[in-house]
Structure 1
Amino acid sequence: MEDITLQNPRIRGIGLTILGPLLWGISGTTAQFLFTTEHISANWLVSVRMFVSGILLVLFGFATNATASIAVWRHWRDAIKLVFFSFVGMSASQYTYFKAIEYGNAATATILQFLSPAVIIIHLMFRTRHLPRRVDVISLAMALTGTILLVTHGHLTTLAIPLRGLLWGLATAITASIYTLLPGKLLRRYGSIPVVGWSMLIGGASFSCFYQIWDHMPTFSWQTYGDVSFVVIFGTMFAYLFYLQSLSYIQPTTASVLGSFEPLSATILSIIFLGISFGLPETIGGILILGTVGIQSWAAMKNNMSIS
């Protein structure tokens, strides 16, 4: 009989994969509460979130393997790539996601973020100059239909979310695809914790100086301190650590499917605590968008099986 306790590496990996996106989803809903109730700006929260989480992840990297943590800085070409990724990948994906929440809501922003596989398909189609596979055509059709249902609530002549929320949500899908495609060689060479930690620290420090967070300090209550701390520590540092650690136990394709717990948790919490309405059309739309992740993961698994 298969061991179904946490001693089983696969069970441990699945648990970590669910917990990481779950914390991301809760973090998004918490951020929406901070934007709408505490009137904290996305600029301020993104700056603080990346900067503090970057420090914590870099310190964690030094505590576990100091040599690996600074290895990237010994090769100037890779160091330049890391700095470039810090702005174009890490900072851009964080900023667009929180702006999408600020102008829309956490549930819709998180689901639109999952359009990134469709963006990657289109990018690879033009880069390789090859027609998309049948599975890619199906994925694109599902993504387009799902997006239309999600943002119109089934009424095709009107938008059910603010236009700026929709545009920032679509920008989130683009930046999330860049975040996925850009750091591949760096991650394979130096590991995920140094790359994510340094990119967050660089992006957060630069963003903080540009925005000058010390001149935009909001009025804090004890609840605000707790909410911001949750977004920074649990919704960022621990969420990344749990998700990245899960990849040591399970396949990335499995992890990408289980990543659907992020929009699931964000949607449920937004409905319960923030009064966001999700009817049948937008529910179907969300399922179609998330289904593209499952289809692409299934195709990748099938391809790996045929190669082996």
Structure 2
Amino acid sequence: MAEAHAGTASRAGSYHMNLRGVACALAGGALWGFSGTAVSYLFRSSGIDPMWVMSVRMVLAGILFLLFSVARGDRRPFELLRDKSAVRDLLLFAGAGLFLNQFSYLMAIQATNSATATVLQSLQLLPVAAVACVIGRRAPKRREVIGMVLALAGTFLITTGGDPSQMALPPAGLAFGLLAALGGAGLAVFPGKILSTYGVSAVNGWAMLLVGLIAAPFVPDWGQAVASFDISCWVVFGALVVLGTWCSYLFYMQGVHEIGSLKTAMLSTVEPISATVLSALWIGVVFSPTDLLGFAMIIIMMPLVA
């Protein structure tokens, strides 16, 4: 009787952990979608420079991550800095992953809109899948090939509107969107070893702080950067830092911990959906039928490749 009761309790605990992990993965993806739309709002409302957004956002989010670690008594952020191999991996992650992804993503939003930039960024799963095939010394699976075809077809529809003779998407928007995808692939590939050793707060904290400080000298004019900010812009920017950056990463990694990376990656496909819905409802972006079909193809691609 006691064993049966223990088994029931174990199943109930596993069910609640799985449910909590699913909720965290969905929340993380949705908040990333909010992040892109919030940036788009700031660009439209104030004309703020992308480098200012990147620098201040990364520095503040990095400090939040490190303070969170210190408050929990976690010494790993300091241990990481004493590990030369880990520091090299951190620099690679910060430069070829986080910096490339964040800078290109912001520029893509400025050239297009948050939904289009987010969908193009989601193409990061293609190079990640290619790396997985090379490391595993295997050919792509059938579902991966189908996903790649959908991704290419979706990108074609978004960039041309279905007519090869015209470019519906600005060339700069397409270029930065694809660079953001490469940076996103770097985020997934480069930090694996140090994440497992030092944890998400230490790795993301130092990487974000480093990227923010590197971007700071490239802000055109700090004195005039926020001259056009009103109260609504400051509120949106605060939400971008806390919800769209710090909380989104915390929720996403908690999902990875509780339900695994594959399920979390699939559930996080809510990100481009969130960005598209918010762009339409909040900012009033109007999408053509070919845009929506292209978005749908790329969204369908993600769980196939993940």
TM-score normalized with structure 1 length: 0.89
Partner of 1:134: 142
Residue 97, structure 1, aligned to residue 141, structure 2: no
Partner of 2:22: 14
- Cα displacement (A) at 1:20: 1.4
The percent identity for this pair of structures is 32
- Greater alpha carbon shift after TM alignment, 221-230 vs 2-11: 2-11
- Cα displacement (A) at 1:200: 0.3
- Where 1:16 maps in the other structure, the secondary structure is helix
Residue 181, structure 1, aligned to residue 189, structure 2: yes
Residue 116, structure 1, aligned to residue 124, structure 2: yes
From 275, 280, 300, the counterpart of 1:291: 300
Partner of 1:261: 270
The answer (yes or no) to whether the contact 1:87–1:203 under 8 Å persists in 2 is: yes
Partner of 1:79: 87
Instruction: Measure the CA separation in 1 of the matches of 2:116 and 2:12.
Output: 34
- Where 2:74 maps in the other structure, the secondary structure is helix
| 1:178-203 alpha-carbon deviations (Å, 9 max, x no partner) | 11111111111111111111100111
The runs of 5 or more residues in structure 2 that have no matched partner are: 1-7
| 1:228-261 alpha-carbon deviations (Å, 9 max, x no partner) | 1111111101111111112221121111111111
Residue 191, structure 1, aligned to residue 227, structure 2: no
- Cα displacement (A) at 1:132: 3.2
From 55, 80, 83, the counterpart of 2:63: 55
Instruction: Measure the CA separation in 2 of the matches of 1:6 and 1:126.
Output: 35
TM-score normalized with structure 2 length: 0.89
Runs of 4+ off more than 6 Å: 1-7, 126-129
Change over 3 Å in CA distance of 1:10–1:121 after alignment to 2: closer
Change over 3 Å in CA distance of 1:291–1:77 after alignment to 2: same
Partner of 1:302: none
The answer (yes or no) to whether the contact 1:47–1:213 under 8 Å persists in 2 is: no
- Cα displacement (A) at 1:153: 2.5
- Where 1:282 maps in the other structure, the secondary structure is helix
Partner of 1:303: none
- Where 2:73 maps in the other structure, the secondary structure is helix
Instruction: Measure the CA separation in 2 of the matches of 1:136 and 1:73.
Output: 38
Partner of 1:300: none
Instruction: Measure the CA separation in 1 of the matches of 2:13 and 2:135.
Output: 45
Residue 227, structure 1, aligned to residue 236, structure 2: yes
| 1:109-162 alpha-carbon deviations (Å, 9 max, x no partner) | 001111011123345567777643333322221110111112223233222221
Instruction: Measure the CA separation in 1 of the matches of 2:30 and 2:221.
Output: 28
Residue 278, structure 1, aligned to residue 287, structure 2: yes
| 1:199-240 alpha-carbon deviations (Å, 9 max, x no partner) | 001111121134376345221211111111111111101111
Instruction: Measure the CA separation in 1 of the matches of 2:260 and 2:135.
Output: 26
The answer (yes or no) to whether the contact 2:51–2:218 under 8 Å persists in 1 is: no
- Where 2:115 maps in the other structure, the secondary structure is helix
The answer (yes or no) to whether the contact 1:47–1:204 under 8 Å persists in 2 is: yes
- Where 1:109 maps in the other structure, the secondary structure is helix
Partner of 2:4: none
| 1:84-106 alpha-carbon deviations (Å, 9 max, x no partner) | 32122111111111111011100
* 1:297-308 pair list within 5 angstroms: 297=306
* 1:148-159 pair list within 5 angstroms: 148-159=156-167
The answer (yes or no) to whether the contact 1:116–1:174 under 8 Å persists in 2 is: yes
The answer (yes or no) to whether the contact 2:98–2:208 under 8 Å persists in 1 is: yes
